[in-house]
Structure 1
Amino acid sequence: MNDDFPLTYCTNIHPGDAWVDVLRNLDEHALEVKRACSPERSFPLGLRLSAQAARELDDTKIRDFGDWCHRHGCHVLTLNGFPYGAFHGTRIKEAVYRPDWRDARRVAYTKRLADILVQWTPNSQESSISTVPVAWRDGFSAEHWPLVRTHLLDMLSHLARVRDRSGALIRLALEPEPHCMLETIDETVGFFERMAFPASLSEHIAVCFDCCHQAVEFEGPAECLARLASAGIRVAKVQVSSALRAHGARIAGLLKFDEPTYLHQAVGRRRDGQLLRFADLPDLGRWLERGEPLEECRVHFHVPVFLAELGEVDTTRFFLEDCIPRLDRGTPLEVETYSFGVLPESLRLDSVARSVVRELNWVRETLDAAHCCH
Structure 2
Amino acid sequence: MRFPHGHLAYCTNIHPAQDWESTFRAISTHAMRVRDLVSPQDAFAIGLRLSAKAASELLTGDQLPRFKDWMAGQNAYVFTINGFPYGNFHDTEVKRNVFRPDWTDPARLEYTKELFTIVSELVPFGIEGSVSTLPGSFKEFEADESLIIGQFIELAKFLDALSEVSDRDLHLGVEPEPRGHFENTEETLRFFDRLLDAAPDHEQIKRRLGINYDCCHFALQYEDARSSLKALKGEGLRISKIHLSAALALDPRIPEAVKAVSAFDEPVYLHQVLARHPDGRIERFTDLPEAIASLQTEDGKEAEQWRVHFHIPLDAEPAEPLKTTRENAREALRVAEEIPDLCQHWEIETYTWGVLPAGMQRPVEEQIAAEYRWVLGGS
Residues 236-258 of structure 1: per-residue CA shift (max 9 Å, x gap): 11100000000131541322211
CA distance in 1, matches of 2:69, 2:177: 36
Letter aligned with residue 38 of structure 2:
C
SS of residue in 2 equivalent to 1:301: coil
CA distance in 2, matches of 1:4, 1:46: 16
User: In the alignment, does 2:373 pair up with 1:361?
Assistant: yes
> Please, which of 313, 324, 335 is the counterpart of residue 304 of structure 1?
313
Q: Is the 8 A contact 2:206 2:238 kept in 1?
A: no
CA distance in 2, matches of 1:233, 1:137: 23
User: In the alignment, does 2:266 pair up with 1:259?
Assistant: yes
Q: Is the 8 A contact 2:213 2:241 kept in 1?
A: yes
CA distance in 2, matches of 1:43, 1:71: 12
Q: Is the 8 A contact 1:308 1:316 kept in 2?
A: no
Q: Which residue of 1 aligns with 2:173?
A: 173
CA distance in 2, matches of 1:310, 1:171: 39
> Please, which of 239, 242, 267 is the counterpart of residue 243 of structure 2?
239
Percent of aligned pairs with the same residue? 35
CA distance in 2, matches of 1:119, 1:310: 44
SS of residue in 1 equivalent to 2:79: strand
Runs of 4+ in structure 1 off by over 6 angstroms are: none
Residues 159-186 of structure 1: per-residue CA shift (max 9 Å, x gap): 1110121111110110000011110111
CA distance in 2, matches of 1:84, 1:3: 32
CA distance in 1, matches of 2:320, 2:5: 34
Structure 1 portions without partners, runs of 5+: 370-374
CA distance in 1, matches of 2:3, 2:64: 32
Offset, 1:307? 2.2
Q: Which residue of 2 aligns with 1:219?
A: 223
Offset, 1:353? 0.4
Per the alignment, do residues 166 and 5 of structure 1 end up closer, same or farther by CA in structure 2, a change over 3 Å counting? Answer: closer
User: In the alignment, does 2:45 pair up with 1:33?
Assistant: no
Letter aligned with residue 226 of structure 2:
A
CA distance in 2, matches of 1:204, 1:322: 26
CA distance in 1, matches of 2:112, 2:168: 16
Offset, 1:122? 2.6
Per the alignment, do residues 43 and 294 of structure 1 end up closer, same or farther by CA in structure 2, a change over 3 Å counting? Answer: same
Q: Which residue of 2 aligns with 1:337?
A: 350
Structure 2 length normalisation: TM-score? 0.93
Cα RMSD of the aligned pairs, angstroms, is 1.5
Residues 102-137 of structure 1: per-residue CA shift (max 9 Å, x gap): 000000100111111111123321111000110010
Offset, 1:145? 1.6
| More displaced stretch, 83-92 vs 286-295 | 286-295
| More displaced stretch, 31-40 vs 96-105 | 31-40
Per the alignment, do residues 7 and 200 of structure 1 end up closer, same or farther by CA in structure 2, a change over 3 Å counting? Answer: closer
Q: Which residue of 2 aligns with 1:100?
A: 102
CA distance in 2, matches of 1:189, 1:70: 40
SS of residue in 2 equivalent to 1:203: helix
Q: Which residue of 2 aligns with 1:372?
A: none
Q: Is the 8 A contact 1:102 1:147 kept in 2?
A: yes
